[in-house]
Structure 1
Amino acid sequence: MNLFVDALAWIFSPDRLEGSLTLPMAIAQHLAFTFGSVLIAAVIAIPIGYLIGHTGRGREVAVFLSGAARALPALGLVVLLVMLAGVTLKTEAAVTAFVVLAIPSILAGAYAGIEAIDRTVIDAGRAMGMTEWQILFRIEMPLGLSLLIGGLRSATLQVVATVTIAAYVGLGGLGFFLIQGLQTRNFAEILGAAIVVVVLALVLDGLFALLARYAVPRTTGPRIRTTRAQPAPHPVAQTSH
């Protein structure tokens, strides 16, 4: 319990705003690596996933590559790419490693979202004369958005936790405090940095939960505009003369 209190004291200490790397700066670097890597991975994986889901081809290859990428050790991949690219390109090497780790979840979410759609809905679109592009953009992409957001959510949480290893190659981020704490045996610093990483992950997870709630269509069928029924006019009584 005392260690937890010491960790909170470390986080909110005025010393965190001083030095070559302040805590806000480390958080900004951490988020920059996370969002940049996920964005690049999304640009690569989403079109491929949509192509696989729409055509039904290449799913086995995508599953194999995704499984192989998930099995890669993150730290080993970062160190290997840095060694191959050189110290001058260590930032690009680290981002490449994070992108590789983020692609499987996004790819799976993209093609699984389309595959999960009831085929009768797609067949109905074709029967109405819609082109394949119209089916993709008007039917498959909106209805598959839920699983795609889930894939982006999973990839973001994985990357935000993995970015801590960027400090092993001198790229800063919250991992800097973890390494520094290990070297100086400052366990309050280690726990404090870990708490900040956990809080970042929880905040990002909550944001994706809100995005999934408000961005995903609530119904799979077309929206039908209805008007309130007008009351029937009262019959006019006929009078006899």
Structure 2
Amino acid sequence: MDAIETQSGVTLAVSAVNLATGESVQHQSSEPLPMCSLFKVIAVGALLKAHAYDEQYLNTPVPFSADQIVVNSPVASKLGILQMTPNEMADAALRYSDNTAGNLLLEQIGGPAAIRQLAQQLGATSTRLDRAEPELNEGIPGDLRDTTTADDMVTILRALLIDGQAGQLTQSKLQDWMLQNTTSGARARAGLSGSYELADKTGAGGYGIVNDAGVLWQGGSGPIVFSILTRTDDPAAKNNNDVIAQAMRLITLELQ
């Protein structure tokens, strides 16, 4: 991981564990970095923890206004009628990282504070959300708002997607949506080869931030729960997806 940082100029935080063997990889894994759209996994987890079995609630449309549509909303911005069911919000947020859907989810669960509350319940004590989209992606160096750690994200993902700590149906639904994620082709998926299944969530923001975190099943190993967070100190830095792919390659080499 040090070599990737040196070559790219990107700060990298990595945590990964093979749940079958207990082997792990950590690199600056307790350092707080901007969470960006990774919060959407926790938001959907909180929603389902409360309502997973309430089909009427999950399929009842919730109207919203045109001024609630924010940048990077590929699903919500194309709707003819401005309404989404909670199920549709979750699908758009997890599979397409739709920011408007993310904000609507926050409204459903009681605001950004609910993210920290669920994270703490799951054993992740260094994760907080303070703002909504798109401000939460600002990523100013030293600003602890809207941050997590790589270790925390692994704790959260393991709890929600593997250990069923928010319920088995929540686990199943999260896996279903995240296995069909459309946004990681140039990131974690670009670092994988052979036959695999990946349930993940990406994020991006200012200062060159790119994130990817999830669960990997490949061959006879795993599952591997991983979190890769990045940032720079340059406000003009471009998102370097290849850093994520390189880190993913190292994780699989170490843990398979």
Q: Same fold (TM over 0.5)?
A: no
Higher percent of residues as helix: 1
Larger radius of gyration: 1
Q: Higher strand fraction: Structure 1 or Structure 2?
A: 2
